[in-house]
Amino acid sequence: MPQPRIRMFAGPNGSGKSTVKEYLLPHHIGAYLNADELEQMLNTTHQLNLMVYHSVLKAQDLIDFLKQKKRPQIGNFIPLLKLDPILLDDYNIQFASSEIDSYLCARIIDYIRLEFLRLKISFTFETVMSHISKVEFLQEAQRQGFKTYLYYVSTVDPLINIARVQYRVSVGGHPVPEKKIVERYYRSMDLLMQAVDASDRAYLFDNSSNGEKAAFIAEIQSAETLKMNPDVLHLPWWFAEKVLKDFTAE
């Protein structure tokens, strides 16, 4: 049986994580878990078909999972769901429009990730990686025998990210407060080397230039061997500070 693989596309809001997918062949990606794309789909259809991701996923199991979850509200926590989803069949669920938001979609993706981890199914997912839990997920995946890949995408200035999120909102995407974008920008990069340590291979990209393909900066193998892209003439500050400095200090 081939070794299962997890590919994590990580980086601050608005960095352009999805654009890096073109570096991979489709069969390498497998099931692709993206909470933003899920939210857009649910806002249009109000229905989730788990068969889109994998036939092992069951609608009733997901509903049971969601009923156990909470969401923050004015310094407190309340149940994630106010209204019970409608179970249409073994794979399909209908949600009330008032229930659909980024919190719900993030928890749905959490359920799928955990099920794939438990069942040793290869998959790819996106994350801002502003919380240590995503690094811990990679660590747990390695312990369970997965080969882990990190694709990290950032920019040289959080103002670039803010502008891109604003554009995304103008074409129907969900908003993110500017303060959160900036906070997540720095928190994500502070966790970068921990994520590299939890990855069998890490690929680092800078996507600061609008309208151009994200620039591949370097590959790191087993958190030990750094291979620079010789075509890159100017290193972004975040790579020099958060990655290169770590290797040159050894």
The model's pLDDT over 160-203, given as tens digits with 9 standing for 90+, comes to 999 999 998 888 777 899 999 999 999 999 999 999 999 999 99
pLDDT at residue 187 in the model: 98
142 contact partners, CB below 8 Å, separation of at least 6? 148, 198, 200
pLDDT at residue 147 in the model: 97
Q: Residue 80 sits in which domain range? A: 35-121
* Domain end position, chosen among 69, 102, 121: 121
* Domain end position, chosen among 121, 156, 190: 121
Same domain, 109 and 165: no
* pLDDT tens, position by position, 110-148: 999 999 999 999 999 999 999 999 999 999 999 999 999
In this structure, which amino acid lies at residue 170?
Answer: S
Mapped onto helix, strand or coil, the DSSP state of residue 187 is: helix
* pLDDT tens, position by position, 143-166: 999 999 999 999 999 999 999 999
Same domain, 115 and 171: no
pTM of the model: 0.93
Between 13 and 18, where is the model more confident? 13
pLDDT at residue 249 in the model: 65
Task: Check if the beta carbon of residue 127 is closer than 8 Å to that of residue 19.
Answer: no
Q: How many domains does the chain have?
A: 2
Same domain, 230 and 134: yes
Between 250 and 50, where is the model more confident? 50
Of 174, 171, 211, 236, nearest to 35 (Cα)? 174
In the predicted structure, residue 250 carries a pLDDT above the cut 70: no
Please state at what angle helix 158-170 crosses helix 178-190, rounded to 10 degrees.
130
> Please, which pLDDT band fits residue 211 given cuts at 50, 70 and 90?
confident
230: left (phi > 0), else alpha (psi -120 to 50), else beta?
alpha
The CATH number linked to 140 is 3.40.50
Same domain, 58 and 140: no
Same domain, 172 and 233: yes
Same domain, 204 and 114: no
Same domain, 144 and 234: yes
Same domain, 140 and 216: yes
pLDDT at residue 6 in the model: 97
Same domain, 133 and 156: yes
Same domain, 201 and 248: yes
Same domain, 137 and 241: yes
* Domain end position, chosen among 121, 142, 170: 121
* pLDDT tens, position by position, 14-70: 998 878 877 776 777 889 999 989 999 999 999 999 999 999 999 999 999 999 999
Same domain, 111 and 127: no
